[in-house]
Amino acid sequence: MTIAVGENMPSGTFGIMTESGPGALSTSDLFSGKKVVLVSVPGAFTPTCSMNHLPGYVDQIDALKGKNVDTVACMAVNDVFVMDAWGKDRGVGGNVMMLADGNGEYVGALGLEMDASGFGMGIRGQRFAIIVDDGKATHVAIEAPGQFEVSKVEAILEAL
């Protein structure tokens, strides 16, 4: 079942890169007591994700913070090394947390996985953005296949 507004975010763990190498971040540590914008992309280094989706959030970080967002996090079904390299390539710095959902377990728990086998990418996460307030989904924006409208930063800023 797909996550819906008013529901608690499922528990899980993401891979993150730390100063000492690969680490883990629990959803409790990510969401508890915070307002978080969780953005999902089908894949690091893919065209729309790299040229539009992630850069929009990086460029608008001050506007997001101005709307009381504590954390902006970008997740993809990629490993922690790829997510770290992509974040460096896109210049996210400390502005956007790069989360690896390497086995697609979290997108599965959200009910937002997709089969991209036809593109040689296997199971991935759909393109979406969720506003989370203290662990509860307050806005869920899931893109239709091939679309990039409801999860882009401008739409999320309006929803905030």
Contact 114, 47 (CB under 8 A): no
Dihedral angle sign, alpha carbons of residues 112, 98, 134, 127 = negative
CA distances from residue 158 to 67, 96, 131 in whole angstroms, order as listed:
10, 19, 12
For the question of residue 49 being annotated catalytic, the response is: yes
Contacts of 94 (CB under 8 A, 6+ apart): none
Other C-beta atoms closer than 10 Å to the C-beta of 133 total 16
Distance CA 106, CA 40 (A): 11
The strand pairing partners of 40, in sequence order, are 75, 128
CA nearest 30: which of 83, 82, 72? 72
Matching residue, tokens 């199971």:
123
Catalytic residue among 16, 49, 76, 132: 49
Residues that are catalytic: 49
